[in-house]
Structure 1
Amino acid sequence: MQLARAQVLSVTPPTASGDSVGAEAARTPDALPVDLDFLDDPLEWSAFSHAVTGCPGTWESSLVIEGMHCAACSVTVEDALLQTPGVLSVQVSAASHRAKIVWAQNQVLPSAWLAAVTAVGYRAVPANDMFASKRRRIETRQALWRWLVAGLCMMQVMMYAYPAYIAAPGDLTAEMERLLRWASWVLTLPVIMFSCGPFFKAALRDVSRGRISMDLPVALGIAITFAVSSLGTFAPEGIFGREVYFDSLTMFVFFLLTGRWLELRLRDKTAGALEALMNRLPDNVERQLPDGSFNRVAARRIAVGDVLRVHPGETFPADGFITAGATSVDEALMTGESRPVARAAGMPVMCGSHNLGGTVIVRVDCVGASTRYAQIVALMDSAASSKPHSAQIADRLAKPFLVGVLVAAALACAWWWERDPGHALMVAVAVLIVTCP
């Protein structure tokens, strides 16, 4: 399974990072990378999917969707997947960045719906991808750096803006005021060019694909505020006036990044616990051959009736009965019992429990989705990707709401434009940024 996960990672192109292969796949969704074809092998499906009980030929897959930031993003991914022939149902959670897909194997294969996600500008990887935690750590570290830069620049900009707030008329000369504004402009540049990178990148991605997400009004508000403030600094006698808002701009970005960083930390902690559970099983096991010797095979290839040899420190890959040997087993995950449980010949062992004592021979009685371990994982995965009815309604209203906000901002700007263009733009900005939760 580890090999399959690594291959999935290597062939799922990250369009957000500017990867040329990913950009090409996004432009031409029908042109799938050849390497994705290996996912169409049914032997690989068990790494990220399970068969739906009572529906022959129907599978349910769990994915992590990377690059989402709001409810409108989850709706975009859902719509892209539902438009893929053969996909029966989709549920995408913007909070946990997880998706659950039900699909018919005689109509569509995994490479097709993975490409559909890539085509709309996001990245889909199996929920138990071996490198998911590493990518989350990198994302969290980058978010922390952006937050630190925004925080440091915000404090310095506030220091330069403070004299203008407390100075009496005539206290600040024109040269001093101009110098403070220039200093604020210089310190705002790192915030715009580095800290605001994710907002602008996501907004450009959505605009290029004719979509709207929460990043678009935020990016517009930041860009307009910076433009008006820059014109107020360089051309104070122009139509946009002398007012500058560098302090408000940097503070707004800092608070936005604070919220996103906290969200990343919370999601990382939740996803880490779930991944630790999902990756609990071994990748390979020792299976007995007809001549009585043992050979290591992939864990997904074991079947009911196989005889396995499980050594101390290994995890039982399936439900079964011990036929030889004795050991103690950690079943805390399955039963809640904190103390090791003694197991000997003729006694059952459960998939997902740890062998703590000696080497035992086990005859497999139950594999795959029918094990208790798989049922526990399925329940936790369902809880992570499911949404209450109220959240589903909110997701569907997100896009019309954002369209209404953009229209309201444009109307407000038009209403005030003849009186004061600079004030008109800032009124529009106020309408835009109020949409950000």
Structure 2
Amino acid sequence: MESVRSPAAVPGVALQDATPRAGRSMSGSEQRDAPVRELALVIDGVVCGACTVAIGDRLRSQSGVRSVQINALTRQALIEFEPSRISAARISELIATLGYSPRASDAPSQEQARRTIRKALLWRAGIAWLAMMQIMMYAWPAYQTAPGELLPDHAFLLRWAQWILSLPVILVAASPILGAAWSGLRSRSINMDVTVSAAIVLTFVASTDATFSGKGEVWFDSLSMFVALVLTVRYLLLRGQHALESRVERLSSVVAGQAKRIVIDSTGAERVESVDTETLREGDLVLVSAGAVVPGDGRIEEGHSALNESILTGESMPVARQSGDRVHAGTVNLSAQLRVRVDALGASTRAAEIATLMRRVSAARLTAIDRADRWAPYFLAGVLLCAALGMLYWWPYDTDRAMSVAIAVLMVTCPCALSLATPAAMLAAVGRLARLGVYLRKPAALVQLARVSHVVFDKTGTLSADALRVERVFLAPGITLSSSEVLQIATALEGQGFHPIASALRQHPEVQRGLPRVTEQREIPGVGVEGTVAGRRYQFGKPAGSSILPGGGVHCELRNEQGRVALIEFSERIRPEALDTVRALNHAGLHVSVLSGDSPEQTRRLAHELGVDGVSGGLSAEDKLAELRSLQHRGRVVLAVGDGLNDGPLLAGADVSAALVTGAPATQATADLVILGERLSSIAMLRKTAQTTIRIIHQNLVWALAYNVVCVPLAVWGWISPGWASVGMAASSWLVLANAWRILRMPAESRATAET
């Protein structure tokens, strides 16, 4: 961070009501009932856990701020506040007064600004590296000659050359670090920039004094190397942060541009008009040409094509979609023209929901991170104290060694590998899960996910698709109509309805040949639909008696004035990846159960096809919860997977829960993880990813603690020079990051499934 920005410069944050409302204090009940808003910010200038503690403490002290979550690695913040007591602009102003630069994470495209920030940081790192190489050349003779061999005039000129070359390092390369440290000190908080700046300033001042006085050692080479390494580590972290921001931004703006709306005039004639996507309304019929982006969530009314849904699911392979199927904003139509009836736009689309989910994930934190961040200021203060005590101890004996000890202590711990150990692994885990099509809503769930021993599935909509398919047509005795004609009449009566029965009929091959004309069509609540076809009155819907017949399928009846014409049997479709997912879970040693509210016979039949032994059907939401409690009472750690409203209690009671993004919003809000698209197979990789993440976090913490426990005392006793301290600092940080990025290189899900 180079400058403190005023709140007026914060993009995307409204400035009205900048001052909290004055007057009487609110009662406890009023506070609970007050409307709450969420503010998602990216806070530039955050470099460590101490920064998040300083910002969090300042905001939590304000009346009207309910909660604050800040992730130091992603710089994402999620703040809940009461607009009636404090405004978004006031929150941004408070952050800016601490020396940080907040900006709205959902502001218009800031890719150019991010690119400028990266270039500036890379340019400063380049200056530091270039200066370091030149300084090393002038410092090399002093290392290669014995005391007294180098002529005083030559030594003086070499030191002056190093001093001049170090000025760009101080004035240009390190200026953002020094500015951030000054802002932290002014706000009475100690962050990592304070200790880094202390090392830089102390090294430069001591070396400058030795240069001008001609006495003592100079460490310009160590100074330039230290700054170059710090800036390089920060550049690598910044690239990861900006990649996450760009991903959220793409999801938030996937449908910007033009759309083709189909308009039907009073004469029934159609015309196509090009409009901005912002002007579309729910219920509009749009034409999506090959190569065009779907402008909103909706259902295909006509046509079939292949769509690229990678923006939502991460899966690059095209997905076939046809009449009756749902499509989503931001997906790309690859082949044939489609007619889509739009039913969700803007913030209501799945892409927008995923973007919001990603912002929550980016700001969320593990309890371990909270503890580490809370201790970060004390650790940094301890580093400063160790450096001061080491210098004071050695000063009476050898001033050069005293300065060297202080500089080495400050350099060897900054940036501290401890501050990167957990966040780096968490960021990699979030990225890994996103590639699998899973978004982690609650990071704390990773700990329990690594211990899962039993997986419980809901049936309908989870293991089986919501869509039905036509299984068989039973003609009544004496009926002369063919099965194809029965299906065409039934489809014509259903029209373009969104009911699963209507969708299943429209997708049948016999229906594609054409439909008869229907007149006097009307819906009979609780029964079905009726209308006149070819002069005869037909009714299609629920048969007399139960709609669930002994065959186990769902049945609908077509009737006319004389009685039953035909019975159409529909069956559920098992999700394509369900069988492989269950096999992969069994191969991993996990127990699998199916709990469903559908009839026991239907549930047992599906479980038999999948090879699942533990199965219970005909369950209410309370019954599912009771079954879950029974498993937990037997010592099982349970992952529950569902999608419906009736799965809410099950997901809430499970040790870990996952909801499909196609499910009810309330169910997603209860779940710890949300699974995108139809990638059910990603469930088989969840536990392995969680176990790897927890293991790497432990490895990073052990390494970081061991590094500090060993290196700090060695530096205090003068056994580590400033040059080696800067190398050790960079090596420890890079080792932690490299270990965390191993999570991203885990085998792909398809490979894991293939092994089963």
TM-score (norm 1): 0.78
Supply the AA of the counterpart residue of 2:37. Answer: W
- Equivalent pair of 1:25/1:118 in contact (CA under 8 Å): no
Describe the shift of the 1:311–1:190 C-alpha distance in structure 2 as closer, same or farther (beyond 3 A): same
Q: Which residue pairs with 1:148 in the alignment?
A: 126
In 2, distance between residues paired with 1:103 and 1:186? 51
- 1:110-149 paired onto structure 2 within 5 Å: 110-149=88-127
Secondary structure at the counterpart of residue 70 of structure 2: strand
Higher relative contact order (CA 8 A, sep 6+): 1
Establish whether residue 259 from structure 1 lines up as the match of residue 233 from structure 2: yes
Deviation at 1:195, TM superposition (A): 1.2
Deviation at 1:398, TM superposition (A): 0.7
Q: Which residue pairs with 2:69 in the alignment?
A: 91
Deviation at 1:114, TM superposition (A): 2.4
Deviation at 1:235, TM superposition (A): 0.8
In 2, distance between residues paired with 1:155 and 1:199? 21
Q: Which residue pairs with 2:286 in the alignment?
A: 309
- Equivalent pair of 1:65/1:123 in contact (CA under 8 Å): yes
In 1, distance between residues paired with 2:257 and 2:82? 27
- Equivalent pair of 1:150/1:253 in contact (CA under 8 Å): yes
- Equivalent pair of 1:62/1:100 in contact (CA under 8 Å): yes
Establish whether residue 431 from structure 1 lines up as the match of residue 405 from structure 2: no
Establish whether residue 400 from structure 1 lines up as the match of residue 374 from structure 2: no
Supply the AA of the counterpart residue of 2:72. Answer: A
In 2, distance between residues paired with 1:170 and 1:333? 68
Supply the AA of the counterpart residue of 1:426. Answer: S
Describe the shift of the 1:369–1:56 C-alpha distance in structure 2 as closer, same or farther (beyond 3 A): farther
- Equivalent pair of 1:288/1:295 in contact (CA under 8 Å): no
Establish whether residue 246 from structure 1 lines up as the match of residue 220 from structure 2: yes
Describe the shift of the 1:227–1:102 C-alpha distance in structure 2 as closer, same or farther (beyond 3 A): same
Secondary structure at the counterpart of residue 142 of structure 2: helix
Establish whether residue 102 from structure 1 lines up as the match of residue 80 from structure 2: yes
In 1, distance between residues paired with 2:83 and 2:171? 46
In 1, distance between residues paired with 2:149 and 2:56? 59
Q: Which residue pairs with 2:566 in the alignment?
A: none
Secondary structure at the counterpart of residue 121 of structure 1: coil
Greater CA drift, 218-227 or 320-329 = 320-329
Establish whether residue 341 from structure 1 lines up as the match of residue 311 from structure 2: no
Q: Which residue pairs with 1:48 in the alignment?
A: none
Deviation at 1:395, TM superposition (A): 0.8
- 1:37-436 paired onto structure 2 within 5 Å: 37=15, 57-236=35-214, 241-282=215-256, 296=275, 299=278, 305-312=282-289, 313-323=291-301, 329-334=307-312, 336=315, 338-339=317-318, 341-344=320-323, 346-356=324-334, 362-367=340-345, 371-436=349-414
Give structure 1 stretches of 5+ with no counterpart. Answer: 1-15, 27-31, 41-54
- Equivalent pair of 1:128/1:279 in contact (CA under 8 Å): no
Sequence identity of aligned pairs in percent?
Answer: 35
Deviation at 1:369, TM superposition (A): 5.8
Describe the shift of the 1:399–1:230 C-alpha distance in structure 2 as closer, same or farther (beyond 3 A): same
- Equivalent pair of 2:181/2:194 in contact (CA under 8 Å): yes
Structure with higher Rg: it is 2
Describe the shift of the 1:116–1:287 C-alpha distance in structure 2 as closer, same or farther (beyond 3 A): farther
Describe the shift of the 1:59–1:433 C-alpha distance in structure 2 as closer, same or farther (beyond 3 A): same
- Equivalent pair of 2:252/2:351 in contact (CA under 8 Å): no
Q: Count matched residues.
A: 394
Describe the shift of the 1:413–1:167 C-alpha distance in structure 2 as closer, same or farther (beyond 3 A): closer
Describe the shift of the 1:93–1:24 C-alpha distance in structure 2 as closer, same or farther (beyond 3 A): closer
Secondary structure at the counterpart of residue 130 of structure 1: coil
Greater CA drift, 129-138 or 361-370 = 361-370
Deviation at 1:92, TM superposition (A): 0.9
* Higher percent of residues as helix: 1
Secondary structure at the counterpart of residue 15 of structure 2: helix
In 2, distance between residues paired with 1:134 and 1:366? 30
Deviation at 1:200, TM superposition (A): 0.9
Supply the AA of the counterpart residue of 1:175. Answer: D
Deviation at 1:365, TM superposition (A): 3.0
Secondary structure at the counterpart of residue 102 of structure 1: strand
Backbone CA RMSD of aligned residues:
3.5
- Equivalent pair of 1:282/1:314 in contact (CA under 8 Å): no
TM-score (norm 2): 0.47
Supply the AA of the counterpart residue of 1:204. Answer: W
In 2, distance between residues paired with 1:361 and 1:84? 52
Describe the shift of the 1:298–1:67 C-alpha distance in structure 2 as closer, same or farther (beyond 3 A): farther
Deviation at 1:361, TM superposition (A): 5.5
In 1, distance between residues paired with 2:277 and 2:34? 25
**1:86-107 CA distance string (max 9 Å, x none):** 3322211111111122233444
- Equivalent pair of 2:35/2:82 in contact (CA under 8 Å): yes
Greater CA drift, 280-289 or 224-233 = 280-289
In 2, distance between residues paired with 1:134 and 1:316? 26
Describe the shift of the 1:373–1:419 C-alpha distance in structure 2 as closer, same or farther (beyond 3 A): same
In 1, distance between residues paired with 2:80 and 2:188? 27
In 2, distance between residues paired with 1:175 and 1:297? 74
Deviation at 1:323, TM superposition (A): 4.9
Give structure 2 stretches of 5+ with no counterpart. Answer: 19-32, 417-756
Secondary structure at the counterpart of residue 172 of structure 1: coil
- Equivalent pair of 1:200/1:215 in contact (CA under 8 Å): yes
- Equivalent pair of 1:343/1:349 in contact (CA under 8 Å): no
- Equivalent pair of 1:287/1:306 in contact (CA under 8 Å): no
Q: Which residue pairs with 1:5 in the alignment?
A: none
Supply the AA of the counterpart residue of 1:230. Answer: T
Secondary structure at the counterpart of residue 36 of structure 1: coil
